Amino acid sequence: MLDKLRDVEERFRKIEEKMATPEVYNDPAAVAKLSREQKELAPVVEAYRRYVKHSDDLEQARALLSDPEMKEMAEEEMASAARLMEETEHELKVLLLPRDPNDSKNVIVEIRGGVGGDESALFAADLFRMYSMYAERCRWKCEVTNINETELGGIKEICFILEGDGAYSYMKFESGVHRVQRVPDTEASGRIHTSTVTVAVMPEAEEVEFEINPADLQIDTFRSSGAGGQHVNKTESAIRITHIPTGVVVECQDERSQHKNRERAMKILRAKLYDAELEKQNAAIAAERRSQVGTGMRNERIRTYNFPQGRVTDHRIGLTLYKIDAIMNGDLDELIEALRTADQAERLKASGMEGDEA
């Protein structure tokens, strides 16, 4: 591992040298590429340099052991340096894991009511509120592209985009079936109902990553539905795009401009088709080795929200938190960090680095 880290540090040093030369700025594309690589390598190099410092501290403390007056202090410094080396070594192993190329991307999220009728639609609205509040905590931008609401204030289906640094790396574990257990407002007898909502999280795909043949598209315009003013009934600004080979249909009616709706609809369609390809790849990998966490199959129950007991349980990692009110108000940090940590541990185990020595 240390040989690899030395190579990484050398590459980082060369990038710094290139970035310091005025000539490189004649090529903006090259500068952008170097800047991205520098940003990716910086955490690894920083951790490696800390590891080297702790290693030097350990050797210096070991050299003092022969001095009776310094022995006790040397032993304490050795123990401290060894502990810091171990912590930094684990950090380095995580940093050296192959990155998911989608981790830095924005995400497109779809929430659909499942089993449970009106109660399911109401919980879908609660989940959207939860994610939008989490996005606000993360300083991400949240844009709704399409929504189908019920008369009771629920949501049958909603599609929205979360734009922010690393959004996909945090949200990718939310795909799957979310189950809610609570007493609906409409339940006079106080009986607990169980309903489900499905969540799909897709990385936003750039045009260069996934090309779509225009001949495969059927594009229809229609009038927006719901509240919005006079333009709703007079302007056919809403867009429906059907990808004929796969039958995937995307609608976008949030913007008044037909051009903007079309642009957003294409963005969502591209993400859906790209995600379908990723699902195929993941299915092939899962056939060989089933991940403990993964991104969650769409038909699997991943989490239960039990309101009477005030708990949220993530079934993939067996984590139960008794803070349902905070979670529904967007405090997802503990849940998501636990999922990310479990995923890292699983990938470390699969890579064979878990027990390696530096």
**Same-domain status, 123 and 75:** no
- Please give the tally of structural domains in the chain: 2
Domain range spanning residue 117? Answer: 107-345
Please state which of the ranges 73-77, 143-147, 305-309 shows the lowest mean pLDDT: 143-147
77: in domain: yes
**Same-domain status, 269 and 320:** yes
What does the pLDDT average to over 107-134? 93
Flag whether pLDDT at 227 surpasses 80: no
What does the pLDDT average to over 316-342? 94
**Same-domain status, 83 and 126:** no
Helices (H), 64-100: 71-95
What does the pLDDT average to over 293-306? 68
What does the pLDDT average to over 346-353? 73
Which element (helix H / strand E) includes 305?
A: strand 301-306
102: in domain: no
Q: Looking at residue 226, what is its pLDDT?
A: 53
356: in domain: no
Flag whether pLDDT at 209 surpasses 60: no
Please state which of the ranges 72-81, 261-270, 312-321 shows the lowest mean pLDDT: 261-270
Q: Looking at residue 281, what is its pLDDT?
A: 64
**Same-domain status, 128 and 221:** yes
> To the nearest whole percent, how much of the chain has pLDDT over 90?
42
Paired sense of beta strands 176-182 and 301-306, if any: parallel
Backbone angles phi, psi at 93, to 5 degrees: -60, -40
- Return the CATH number at 83: 1.20.58
192: in domain: yes
Flag whether pLDDT at 244 surpasses 70: yes
273, 176, 103, 108: CA torsion to nearest 10: 50
**Same-domain status, 196 and 129:** yes
Q: What's the pLDDT tens digit per position in 18-33?
A: 999 998 888 888 888 8
Backbone angles phi, psi at 212, to 5 degrees: -120, 130
**Same-domain status, 216 and 153:** yes
Flag whether pLDDT at 188 surpasses 70: no
- Return the CATH number at 219: 3.30.70.1660
**Same-domain status, 10 and 142:** no
* Backbone angle region of 205, left / alpha / beta, with phi > 0 → left and psi within -120 to 50 → alpha: beta
User: Which DSSP string do the residues of 37-74 spell out, in sequence order?
Assistant: HHHHHHHHHHHHHHHHHHHHHHHHHHHTTTSTTTHHHH
Q: What is the pTM of this model?
A: 0.66
Q: What's the pLDDT tens digit per position in 245-257?
A: 888 888 887 666 7
341: in domain: yes
Q: Looking at residue 85, what is its pLDDT?
A: 94
- Using CA atoms, how far apart are residues 257 and 260, in angstroms rounded to an integer? 5
Paired sense of beta strands 319-321 and 301-306, if any: unpaired
Best-predicted range by mean pLDDT (4-8, 116-120, 131-135, 224-228): 131-135
- Using CA atoms, how far apart are residues 224 and 312, in angstroms rounded to an integer? 37
At 157, the pLDDT band (50, 70, 90 cuts) reads very high
Q: What's the pLDDT tens digit per position in 99-111?
A: 777 888 889 999 9
- Using CA atoms, how far apart are residues 35 and 272, in angstroms rounded to an integer? 30
78: in domain: yes
Q: Looking at residue 293, what is its pLDDT?
A: 45
